[in-house]
Each structure stands twice: as structure tokens, then as C-alpha cells.
Structure 1
């Protein structure tokens, strides 16, 4: 696997479109000294820029931002409410920017007769458009990249169904282009994903097609079933070495894990906390990955009878342990409020009743969903809290994510894992569209444990209560959710598709349910108004979208119209 390159340098190499004046006297002024004409561009350089941009943006969303919070892997404290008050998201402009670069690379590949590059750019196009339609619904697609061919025209929106089917068609074309034994013009160092290995790109194309066929499993089950059964017979990602990943090697901010404190402030790292949805589940399953992802709480808390509190007061901290008298749970005059012991089953009701929570977990303490909207840095009776994210009574992420070194080969953008592929096959089998549900389920668990360095726990882990295979879709999706840690996109979209795992929006979220989409950017409303209105009109109103115009995070895009999930 190729290490991530210096993105700052790489951007200087991106061939930029020249702005050429009709007045020859201005031509020299309007030339970009770092760019060349698109007709002279090297598709290898362009593709690597698209790859790194796609990888880093996916990890940024899935670690500590929109989808990482939505998948309930992490929560943020300090100026962050985690209320699911979604707006435009960050991917509209970034993905369309990458798509324009990718289009130049594709056109050059076709012009130069380079089928490897043509196939790879079709895969990248599919992933970028996939992100966009996943999160917005109807989007500019067929007309989106025409540029001067449609000068003066604003791009129409294609239906979400059209986009998904177009993505699948492009992936199948890419697979056929990548089936040869050798190719011309491949610069291995510029292929930061697979080093020019066409067979791995072909496996990825087929595996992505399987992902998108399954994305349509609830909306178009017959179409999805036919596509899944056909795709399962094709070459697919077959081991960890085939995964679509990109390593964060550190050294510069652009090459480091998101929110690392090495190139910002320590608070960038401290503000990201584990979410109790994940910590509770990992503790319940005795999952060894909890030690890799999260740091033990600096100061554990014990609630004891008054006589056992050192010094006789209501609170004391001795030898790295905080003692709190159990009278705080029954006497409102002590510590100024009524407190309750955190429990995943009752915490929402306790918070709504005005109580504050004390988490007595001895090792890992996470932030409950949306709790930051009421006490962003005081959770778990943190009397010394600050908006810098400091809280000795709540766990941090494991120090490895602070990127002080190369992360021990753990810090990677994980865009498509072998574990995900295995769980897709397990799900297909449970639905009657494939075979060997148990074998693929266990293979998914094994792959995830191995990539996080705890493969030696596999034999014991799969016998744990709740992990030993029971044949249900719920269990498959739960383990897939765990394995997709830091790929919040897929975890969230799986939840939207199946309602699994059963994620709650939390007691202080904007609405009682989690959102279904991002809203379109304001530029679309203001500039591409007619087409924007058509896209917004395709959305279906829900009881939770009535406070917005029809372009609401709680309106149903086509893919969840007429289906019972996720709510």
C-alpha cells in the first residue's frame, strides 16, 4: 500500500484550467505559472489528487464530524452540541471540485487510449457522485461536468434513482476495462491506493457495485437482488491486502489524522470524545478494539457511602480515584443539584428530568449522544472543566490518534475494507441472495480484529455472548457498524437503509429522530434556482420537516420514500 503523499505539493502539480483573454496583451497575465493546458495534463497526477482528496475528506467526516457523530462513534464537546442540526454538509463543493479534476483525467485517458486510467477515473467518479446523491438526493449528474459544452446553461438535477443506476453502470464498465494483464502509461507511485495493480482496482469496482446494489435493497429489492447475485460471481475484495485504504504518515498537517494536536492545539485532539453508544456496546461484548480506539479515563469515579469518602466530604480525589458520596443521588442540597448514575437505558429520562449524570465506569467513559448541548465540558461532574476539552473524568481517544508518529500502521483512511465486503456477503446470504452467512460474518469480524492489531483475540471473541452467530440481520449489521469505525459514511448510510443498529438521536437533539440528508447549498438556491426547486420538490415531507422549507434534513429523499426504515 502506498503512503499518502505531500498533499500541499501535490496540489501545486494539479493542471489548472487556464483563463485566456481574447486580448493577446493580457494572455501572459492570465496564465497560471503552476498549470498547463488540460490537453497536456498527465492523468496520473490528476488521479492521485482525486484519490487523496477523497480519502482525507471521508475520514474527516467519519471521525469527528457529521457522520462520525451520526454513527455515534464519537461526540464533540466544547462549542459542539451534537444535536444533529444538519445543514449543507461539506461535500458539495469539495466533491464537485474533485469531479472536475477527475473529468479532465478521464478525458485525457480516453484521448490517449489508456484503459487503466479510464477505468480508475470511472471508479473515482462513482464514489464521488455516490457521496453526493447519498447525502442530498437528486443532484446535478448528467449535466454537472459539461463545462463549456453547456456554456450559459445551469445543470439540471437527475433523479436519485438515475444517479445510483448510473454509478452502477460506470462501475461495471470500469470492471471490464480493468481486466487485462498489462497496461500502458501507468505511474505506480501516483496510484496511492493500489500502486497500479489493475486486478485490485477491478475487485474494487465489483465490490463497490455490490455496495450500491445493497444500498437499494429496501427501495428496489428486485433490482438489488438481481444485481447482488450477479456481482457475487465476479472478482471481489478477497483479503486485507485488497482494501481501499490510505495511510496517514504524519509529518505535516495534511498528512496527519484529523483533529491531531500536532499541527494545531492540544484542544483539537481533546475535544473529540468517545460516544457511549459505542463504548457501551464494546464493553457489553467484551470487545478488544476498545483498547485500541479509546483511552482509559484519567480519573475513575466511585460512588460510596459518606463514611467511605476520604475526609468526610461529599467529594474527594485520592490516589487517582474520585470518591463521591451516594447522598448526592438523593439529596438535592448536596453539590447543588440532583444527580443520577449513568445507565444507557435511563440516561435520557434522567437528563430530561433535569438531573446530571455521574458515570462510574472504571475504565472507559464516553459522552452520551447530544449531552454536549446541555453541559459540553462539565459532564460527569467535571468541576474543573474548560472549553479546551479538558475533562479528567471522560475518556479521550487513544493517543495514537494524536499522530505523534506514524500511528503504528493503524491510522488509515478506510474507504472500503475487506470486513465490509464480508458483511455485505453475510447480509446477502441472510436475505437469500447469497450463501454462507455465518462464514462471511465471522470473516468480517476476523478481518476487522486483524487490521486493528488484535487478531489473536478472534477465537475467544467470537464465542462471547452477543457475538456468537445467531443468524440475524441485526447481529450482522451491529458487527459491521463496529468494523466500520471511522468510516462514518457507510455506518450512517447502513443505518438509514436498515434502521440498524437502533441509534437514538438523544434527548437534546433538534428532533426526536436522526436526520436523513444534508440540505442543498445556498448557491444552488440563489443561482441554480429552477433546478434547485425541482430537486427540492422531489423530497417527501415528514412530521419532522414541517419547520423547514421542503429542502429539510428531515425530508425523505427518494431512496427512503415508501419504505419503513429508518423511522
Structure 2
């Protein structure tokens, strides 16, 4: 009898445990992706590392103006933003985890991860100021969901160190001509990635120009000089062939050029959007041949009776960013404002590549540093090369045209005037490229002078940052408030001045 009972109990236990196992198996998500390849995560990071042209950012860069309030404005009345960069940083962390699982064959992704950590942390601190860094991304591994806010100085210090390490780590891979998969920017060429790492580092160092003399522990000038003076160790993006740019295509509607109409019908007239005066005025003042490529003459110039109107710089006019939208609309209807050149920008669904960091910027960054005395070298040659690469990017390749433009706008030497020339030309080269960099450079240098007028929605001020995400007040309030007190005496608005821009 006992044997029979034991047998029954044994069968019941076997059924129970097998049922539990089956239940656990059934509860697994069949659509879940486990042990994803590092190359797939890498591709996703690339998709989310680019900033598109023709956005609100480009109006805040004062490249464009919009005169229809229904579709948007350029009033600078932004307040807060989000922590989108941390979503990508979690993806970077996952790429590191998966690369370490694979081992040596995937080790190059670990070097690239250091670049992306710096890239996205810089993106966040540029917007807000102090941000979580040293304790960030530890929720899953350590249960720390309340990271402290690191000072902006410490964030930049750590990012510069990450970039130095990324360059060092990439060097043997470049020497071995190692390729990485999943790369639709550089086709896996790590030599180009190494150039990007160092060029981005120059961008970061230039962004800290206001802190170059009062933060000796950052060695801003010394780092800049070391990079510029040693191209063998620190290769750079100095020609357009190495640009970090998103190339759109025509085969997939999800990757068509952002300006391309969804129905494929290009209407070569858009009275709602016009070129900005801050941008156009520099082009016409300097007799810049790029204006004939990117813009159209005003309708009033076309109807003036002047047969040569299309070849005259006086035929191009931009709308002032601070102007009331009703006034801008009246000007547009009257044919007094220039529109974009649709034949250039919309020649096909692939449009024009969106440069995220390019040769012209790097050349101008070097010229700026030499002008400021950070490194030895000929600022004039880098200034001219920056212009040349930008002009060529916009399709002006005639050498005599480029030479004439350079002659008319000769570098004024390592003076304040020369510095303004560099900064203005860098601004021009940013047109529809590099996201908010034109605004960030203005915020740091005041060049070019931005328009402020009656349409400004921020008390006649150009904002200097974004307020922290409102969600932080719920999930990490104590650390956020400590950071606000440290930086802005407790205030959190778009007009606070961060450490890097004081």
C-alpha cells in the first residue's frame, strides 16, 4: 500500500515540475531578441546618431524662417526637453555587453563604444548642463536608479578621456585593417572612424574655449596642440571624403530625404518657408558663390526687368528671425524674400547628405585654435581649406570661382577680425548640417550676431540651455535639485548659463 502511495506521489511531483517547466517556457516571449549581435546594435546607434536637416533646429540656427504660425515658428520659446541621449547610451552599454560575450572578433566595437559614450554624454550636457554620468546606466546592474548629477566640468573631462582611449584602442585595428559590420556610414572602415573620434575631440575642446585659461587640470590647450601637431597619432577629417554624414537613398521611403514630399510631387514654390537673413546676409556680404546654389533670387528681383538679376548678390534676401510672422508673410507674398533652390535640394528623393561632422568644421576648428594661440600652424591655410571643402560640398567645384572667393575674403590674421571670419565661415558651412552646432557656436562666441525682435517669445533673449526633463522631478528629484542649486541657484529655465558657456 505504501509503495503504491509513494508511486502516486512520485508521479504527481513529476507532473507538477514538468508543468512548471512548461509554464515557464510558455511565458517566454517568442518575439524577444536574445544575445543580439553587436553589429545590429551598432547599426541602430548609427540610425540614432544623426540629426536631420530642415527641422526646428535649423530655424533656431537662424538659417530659415517660417511665416505661418500653424506650422511652427522661431520665437525661441522652448523650455524643457528630454533625455533621449540616455536611451542611446543604454544601447551603447548593451553593445559592450554583447561584444564582450563574443570576445576578440567583436573587440573593435568596444573601442567604438567609448566614442559613442562621449558622443551622447556631450550631446546631453550641451543641452542641459550638469547631468548624470558616473552613476548613470547602473539601474539594471546595481539597482541604482537615482544617479547623482556630475558637474559639467567632470562630464567633459571624462568624455575627453574616453575619446583619448578610443583613439588608442582603434590604432591597432586600423593598422591591421580590421573591418566592422553594420556600418552604413563608413562601410566598416575603422581608419575613418579614428578620424571622426579625433575630429569630435577637437569640436569638444573648441566648445570649452571659455574655460581654457581657468581650468588647468583639463589641459584644453595642451590637448588641442597635441592633436593638431601629431597627425600620425591623431588623424583628422580634413577632406569631404571622410565626412561623417548620412546619405539618404531612393529605394526605401523610410530613408528618403526629409524635405522630399511623401507623394513625390515637388512643388518649386514655398511661401511659408524662406531663407534667414542671418545666413543670407553673410553670403551676400562676402560675394559667396554658394548663394547661387542653395537659394533662389527673390521674385521682386526676377520681375525687376534686370536681365542679369540671377547673377547678382543683391537679388537674394532673407527674412529676419525676430520679425513678426505676419510681417514675414507679407514680405514673402510681395516677393521680397528668397526661397531655397528646389532644383538643388530636391533633385531626387536622396537629396543632399546630412553632414554630422565634416571636413570644413574640423579645418575651421583648427584655424580657430591657432588664432587663439593654442597651437602652432598657419591658421590661414586651414581657414581657406575649410571654405574650399564647404564650397565643394555644395557643388561649386570651379577652381577659379573658389580662388576668386578666397582672394576677396583673405584671412585677416590671428586677430579678432580673423577669428570672426573663421566663425562666420564655420556658421555658413553648418547650413542644414550638424544639428544645433551653429546655435551652440553662437552661444559660445556671439558670432554671427543673431536677430532678436518683436517675435521673440523669451523676453528678447536667445535661450542658453534647456530645462531638465519634467520626469526628473518625479524619479530623481533630490539629485536634480542639488544640481540646480549648484548651477543656477535653484532655478531651472532656458536662460541659465552653464559652466562651459559662462
* Fold agreement, TM-score > 0.5: yes
CA RMSD of aligned residues (A): 2.8
Aligned-pair distance for 1:451? 1.3
Q: Please identify the structure whose Cα radius of gyration is greater.
A: 2
- Give 1:418 deviation, angstroms: 0.7
* 2:45 aligned residue: 50
Asked whether 1:230 is paired with 2:226, we answer yes
Unaligned runs of at least 5 residues, structure 2: 1-19, 306-311
* TM-score (normalised: structure 1): 0.74
Partner of 1:463: 407
Tell me, in whole angstroms, the C-alpha distance in 1 between the residues paired with 2:372 and 2:116: 29
Deviations 1:391-439 (A, max 9, x none): x5533222157646155xx611211111111111111111112210111
Map Cα deviations across residues 181-222 of structure 1 (whole Å, 9 max, x no partner).
2366722xx211211111111121111111111211112335
State the SS of the aligned residue for 2:481: helix
Deviation at 1:516, TM superposition (A): 0.5
* C-alpha distance 140-84 of structure 1, shift in aligned 2 (>3 A): same
Counterpart for residue 176 of structure 2: 182
Do the aligned residues in 1 keep the contact of 2:66 with 2:325 (CA within 8 Å)? no
Give the CA deviation at 1:138.
0.8
> C-alpha distance in 2, partners of 1:403/1:51?
24
1:197 paired residue among 189, 192, 211: 189
Structure 1, 110-119 or 438-447: larger mean CA deviation: 110-119
Question: Helix, strand or coil: the match of 2:278?
Answer: helix
- Equivalent position of 2:463 in the other structure: 515
Once the two structures are superposed, the pairs formed by residues 382-531 of structure 1 within 5 Å of their partners are 382=334, 393-400=336-343, 403=346, 405-407=348-350, 411-434=352-375, 435-456=377-398, 457-464=401-408, 467-471=409-413, 472-486=418-432, 487-509=434-456, 510-531=458-479
2:62 aligned with 1:72, yes or no? yes
Considering fraction of residues, name the structure with more helix: 2
Q: How does 1:115-134 map to 2 (within 5 A)?
A: 115-134=107-126
Cα deviation 1:455-475 (Å, max 9, x = unaligned): 2121111122xx221121111
| Farther off after superposition, 368-377 or 136-145 | 368-377
Structure 1 segments unaligned to the other structure (5+ residues): 1-21, 302-319, 324-359, 383-391, 542-548, 562-567
With 23-32 and 114-123 compared, the bigger mean Cα shift is at 23-32
Q: Helix, strand or coil for the counterpart of 1:205?
A: helix
SS of the equivalent of 1:84 reads: coil
For 1:355, the equivalent position in structure 2 comes to: none
Of the structure 1 ranges 142-151 and 100-109, higher mean CA displacement relative to structure 2 is found in: 142-151
Partner residue in 1 for 2:13: none
Other-structure match for 1:139: 131
2:367·2:380 contact (CA, 8 Å) conserved in 1?
yes
Shift of 1:280: 1.6
C-alpha deviation, 1:478, in angstroms: 0.7
- The whole-number CA distance in structure 2 between the counterparts of 1:154 and 1:292 is 51
Residue 4 of structure 1: aligned partner: none
Distance 1:93 1:380, change over 3 A: same
Alignment: residue pair count: 453
Q: In the alignment, is the contact (CA less than 8 A) between 1:70 and 1:488 conserved in 2? A: no
How far the C-alpha of 1:267 sits from its partner, in A, is 9.4
